[in-house]
Chains A and B, each alone.
Chain A
Amino acid sequence: MARRSPLRPAGFDELGLRRALADRMLPFLVAAMAFLAALALAGWVGAATLAQHWQRGAGASLTVQVPHPDDPALGAPGTRVDRVLGMLDATPGIAGARTLTAAELQALLRPWLGPGPDPLLRRLPAVVAVRLADPPPGAAALATLGTRLDQAAPGTMVETQGVWIDRLLALARSLQACAGAALLVVAAVAAAVVAVATRAGLSARREAIEIVHGLGATDGFIAARFAGRATVLAAAGGVAGAVAALPVLLALASLAAPFAAGGSGPSAEISAAGLGRSLPGALPVALWLLLPGLPLAAAAIGFTTAQVTVRRWLRRLP
């Protein structure tokens, strides 16, 4: 008797739920759901990060070709290329512009023209590499820029990767949507699993529930006993699933590394190379923040589902 505390004993199991709500099957099934949710989360974060990388990388630059760059500009002092560079520098939304040197052009064309100086180079247009500001100007602003440059130095062409970037962004957003849908499905299945387990527990402990109900237990009291048990089991499953998913996510991050290779800034987040780097840097920060949310989400699903299931079931009692 000395074991009894001044308050209701912690974890006192009035309804005998430790035997009724299986302590292996439910956590195992929830762990499987959490594992799938972790993969979906990784897909969502990965797609978002890639989209950001593409937008900030290829989407943040454009090239301008200026034919006959050394000819005098129309109605202004200097050459045509000087005129174009001056207009680019004065344009809002452009962070910088520089003309590629002859050596850089030669290096670019070496696969087609071979090594060594080539007389063709002298007749090639000048290539101006332009870095756009963050956020970059819109498609309409870039179209206007092209028109203005063409008027100042006829024949000048502006090349953007806008179409490809838009397509890649649409792809990334579609992947994010799929990952989000997968998360919703996984959450729904987890809720269904908890509901089925709770109903099995209700059937197994029906007599005990009726006795406790008859002694004056409220619906809230009985539902809280089930919800407490379901919360603990679901949280345990959530932890197990998230931990089990970690090595898989690290392996996927290392596979994804080449897609971001050579990038800088945000690309470092997914350049991952997980297995060869320190653990915190092996996955995107967002994923590290979201993964601990899986056991919490599992616990919330367990608690809510058990509460709703038990309270609905109890309505059959007077």
Chain B
Amino acid sequence: MLRFDAVGLHYATGATPGPDVLRDLSFHVPEGAFRWLLGPSGAGKTSLLRLMYLAARPTRGSLHVLGSDIVAAPRRALPGLRLRIGVVFQDFRLLGHLSAFDNVALPLRLAGRGEGQIHADVTEMLRWVGLAARSDAHPAELSGGEQQRVAIARAVIARPALLLADEPTGNLDEAQAERLLLLFRELNRLGTTVVVATHNEHLVARQPAPALRLDHGRLIEGGA
């Protein structure tokens, strides 16, 4: 599912490469696994997630996502893989000009699903996250917690093979956070591979699972 072999990453600033943000990462997350991604701020969790959801390619090493060699894959092969990956971003990354319904429907429309199915699926998903009455609201009209629930709904609506979440409970109360983790667990039980990055050690304690722990761009726990 996810295989990292001596992966390194640096961001280029102009023509010159910047400092390494990830160094020599080697680990394997099998299909259907659940992993916490832990580490202090600046450890490289977000950069590691960016590699996983194909927003960046490794500058060193070998990376396989969903069985595809990401270093060797042509650029045109990546959109098909992205359609199979759901992501909950820390900053939500909702489209401000679209309603909650249309934001959640976006992955399905990109996948070419019919509007009838989209309507049924999105309505059910919004009901599940408690936003059925707010489906026509735009992100600016929603609270932080509501926006995060829209982002979560968008990430899982297409039943992705790989679900990645970056601090997904940051704006949720305890009950909502618990409910979200139950959703992740349920998706994981149905076969979705799940990686959740968080600072929330209480959350990790309540849902014990193997962890990938980063520090200063290096993997200090959960390596191959």
A: residues with CB less than 8 A from B are 1, 4-9, 12-14, 16, 19, 207-208, 211-219, 221, 315, 318
Query: What residues of A have a CB within 8 angstroms of the CB of B56 in the complex?
Result: 318
Query: What residues of A have a CB within 8 angstroms of the CB of B114 in the complex?
Result: 6-7
Q: Are B97 and A9 in contact (CB under 8 A)?
A: no
Taking the closest CB of chain A, its distance from the CB of B78, in whole angstroms, is 7
Q: Are B119 and A4 in contact (CB under 8 A)?
A: yes
Taking the closest CB of chain A, its distance from the CB of B150, in whole angstroms, is 13
* C-alpha gap A13/B119 in the complex (Å): 17
Cross-chain pair count, CB within 8 angstroms: 72
Query: What residues of B have a CB within 8 angstroms of the CB of A16 in the complex?
Result: 95-98
* C-alpha gap A7/B55 in the complex (Å): 29
Q: B186: CB under 8 A from chain A?
A: no
Q: Are A13 and B115 in contact (CB under 8 A)?
A: no
* C-alpha gap A215/B85 in the complex (Å): 8
Given A216-B83, A318-B54; A6-B116 close (CB under 8 Å) = yes
* C-alpha gap A190/B97 in the complex (Å): 29
Given A1-B123, A7-B115, A8-B115; A221-B110 close (CB under 8 Å) = yes
Query: What residues of B have a CB within 8 angstroms of the CB of A19 in the complex?
Result: 97
6 closest A-B pairs (Cβ-Cβ)?
A: A216-B83, A216-B82, A16-B97, A218-B79, A216-B79, A6-B115
Max chain B Cβ within 10 angstroms of own Cβ: one of A12, A216, A221: A216
Chain A residue, CB-CB nearest to B75: A318
* C-alpha gap A216/B116 in the complex (Å): 21
Chain B window 69-95, contacts with chain A (Cβ cutoff 8 Å), 1 for yes, 0 for no: 000000110111111010100000111
Q: Are B98 and A14 in contact (CB under 8 A)?
A: yes
Max chain B Cβ within 10 angstroms of own Cβ: one of A1, A218, A318: A318
Taking the closest CB of chain A, its distance from the CB of B172, in whole angstroms, is 21
